[in-house]
Chain A
């Protein structure tokens, strides 16, 4: 029996879809079988972020309406052996699915896959309710900004009401801005939201470039900083061993090599 994890945020544009695509791809790279579910009916985007937009024939609403089987709607990612995607319908709206429909789909997918990652739409209405219906746990993505954290807090409250445990990813953090005192640090965000933290993904130009190409950043050779952190988070989710230290700067590394452990935790 697999685990169903919903990736949610409340606010739009904070990187839910990119996070879903990369965590799913990374989990597949680690040898798990993964299916990514786009729960954003009417505004699907997981397909383009994954670069699978030209291969969609059926989608989740077709499955619910009995137009095809669930297996037939799944798209196999050709880059990895054990990665699949269930696309959303782009022409229907959020009401074309109920939380019960979603629960049924996710339960069936959990029988055949280790991980079911659900990309939640922005907002807290029907689409959100559907997306969290089948989830065993949640990952809340927030950027270190007042509006994003406020919305994340609202979502954390709703998840608690639905009895779904949540962990946090702080996305697009800029260590330089934090140092200058112009950005909330990951510690600040944890303190405010009081959530267990999975990781902090740095702001990284390469994510934009890989998204343009429809390639999840974790698949690119010579991994970017963001990709490395996403891979670390995927390992954490799957219970693999991870180095517990955040990426350390050049001088700190030299210092440590010289035995000057000024950075000791």
Chain B
């Protein structure tokens, strides 16, 4: 009960925040990809997608996350329209 009230005011419990941060940090550590390299890859992937469909290249999102020592790469992008070319 008190926990719920506390969470209501301060957002997530710090334990959940720590977990989320660790999943992210470990994914980067395990793949050896730092933020800069990841952004480079994001831009290249966005350019490839843009060749097929119309997208907002800036809104392409890239994420790496680990669960059970498996690292997953997720790229997500909203498609605006069929490509005109």
From residue 57 to 82 of chain B, which have CB atoms closer than 8 A to chain A? 67-69
> Could you pull out 8 A-B pairs where Cβ atoms are within 8 angstroms?
A146-B21, A150-B29, A181-B3, A181-B6, A181-B7, A182-B15, A185-B15, A191-B68
Interface string of A125-161 (1 = CB under 8 A from B): 0000000000000000000011001100110010000
Residues of chain B with a CB closer than 8 A to A78's CB: none
**Additional 6 contacts, C-beta under 8 A, given A146-B22, A153-B30, A181-B3:** A145-B18, A146-B25, A178-B15, A181-B15, A182-B15, A188-B18
Interface size on A, residues (CB 8 A): 18
Main SS class of interface, B: helix
Let me know if B14 and A154 touch, CB within 8 A: no
Let me know if A182 and B25 touch, CB within 8 A: no
Beta-carbon nearest neighbor of B70 in chain A = A194
Let me know if B15 and A150 touch, CB within 8 A: no
Complex Cα gap A185–B3 (Å): 16
Let me know if A192 and B15 touch, CB within 8 A: no
B: residues with CB less than 8 A from A are 3, 6-7, 13-16, 18-19, 21-23, 25-26, 29-30, 67-69
User: What's the minimum C-beta distance from A188 to chain B, rounded to whole angstroms?
Assistant: 6
Check if A180 is an interface residue, CB within 8 A of chain B.
yes
Given known pairs A154-B29, A191-B68, the reply for A146 and B15 (CB within 8 Å) is: no
Let me know if A153 and B29 touch, CB within 8 A: yes
Let me know if A182 and B26 touch, CB within 8 A: no
Let me know if B26 and A181 touch, CB within 8 A: no
Let me know if A180 and B30 touch, CB within 8 A: no
Residues of chain B with a CB closer than 8 A to A178's CB: 15
Check if A43 is an interface residue, CB within 8 A of chain B.
no
User: What's the minimum C-beta distance from B75 to chain A, rounded to whole angstroms?
Assistant: 24
Complex Cα gap A150–B18 (Å): 11
Complex Cα gap A194–B15 (Å): 18
User: What's the minimum C-beta distance from A157 to chain B, rounded to whole angstroms?
Assistant: 7
Let me know if B30 and A157 touch, CB within 8 A: yes
Residues of chain B with a CB closer than 8 A to A192's CB: 19, 22-23, 26
Let me know if A182 and B14 touch, CB within 8 A: yes
Residues of chain B with a CB closer than 8 A to A191's CB: 67-68
Let me know if A184 and B30 touch, CB within 8 A: no
Beta-carbon nearest neighbor of B12 in chain A = A181
Q: Give 4 closest A-B pairs by Cβ, nearest first.
A: A181-B13, A194-B69, A194-B68, A181-B15
